[in-house]
Amino acid sequence: MNARIWWTIIALLLAVIAVLLLALILIPAPAQAPVIATSTPIGTRPLRELVVVTVPVSGATVGKTFTVAGEAPGNWYFEASFPIEVRDAGNNKVGQGIAQAQSDWMTTAQVPFKADITVADYSGPATLILMRDNPSGLPQNDDSVSIPITVK
């Protein structure tokens, strides 16, 4: 009977081990959210480095009205939008628009955007500036991406 108890204990232990191994295999590990910061601590990237503008490309020539498109991290937006400005060579604002998220912006993942920009009476070299929407007004939350363009 003593051997019978030991075999029962061994069988129970093997069953517990089998259940634990099965649980490790079948239950997925929790997903890690990407680490994004507005400063540059080790292992993070500034948000501006994650903003991708596909149209217009850097150095492009655009008309008085043009479209800006690309993708930005969800925490670049506020209420699904962020401001865009066009500044001339003297840093005067000559155009503006509002980029609108094209999908759910309540994420830290990349979110596509689109904006229609109108430039006032100006032609020549300019800078397209995409600004992180900062409803707090705190300077540490300011961020922007600048792209050189030419307005014809």
The answer to the question of residue 99 being in a domain is: yes
Q: Tell me: the pLDDT tens digits for 10-47?
A: 999 999 998 888 888 887 766 554 444 444 443 467 88
Identify the residue with better confidence: 87 or 5: 87
Range of the domain at 76: 47-151
The answer to the question of residue 27 being in a domain is: no
Domain count, the chain: 1
Environment class of 100 (CB within 10 Å of its CB; exposed 0-12, middle 13-18, buried 19+) = middle
The answer to the question of residue 122 being in a domain is: yes
The answer to the question of residue 118 being in a domain is: yes
The answer to whether 84 and 99 have CB atoms below 8 angstroms apart is: yes
Q: What is the pLDDT of residue 24?
A: 80
The answer to the question of residue 80 being in a domain is: yes
Mean pLDDT (the chain, rounded) = 89
CA distance linking residue 103 with residue 28, whole number of Å: 27
Strands (E), 26-108: 52-55, 61-62, 65-73, 81-88, 93-101
Mean pLDDT of 84-90: 96
The answer to the question of residue 16 being in a domain is: no
Split at pLDDT 50, 70, 90, the class of 125 is very high
The answer to the question of residue 92 being in a domain is: yes
The answer to the question of residue 69 being in a domain is: yes
Q: What is the pLDDT of residue 45?
A: 77
The answer to whether 124 and 111 have CB atoms below 8 angstroms apart is: no
Q: What is the pLDDT of residue 55?
A: 97
Identify the residue with better confidence: 81 or 21: 81
Q: What is the pLDDT of residue 29?
A: 64
The CATH number given to whatever domain includes residue 56 is 2.60.40.10
Reduced to 3 states, what is the DSSP secondary structure of residue 22? Answer: helix
Residue 85 has pLDDT above 90, yes or no: yes
What count of residues does the chain have? 152
Q: What is the pLDDT of residue 39?
A: 44
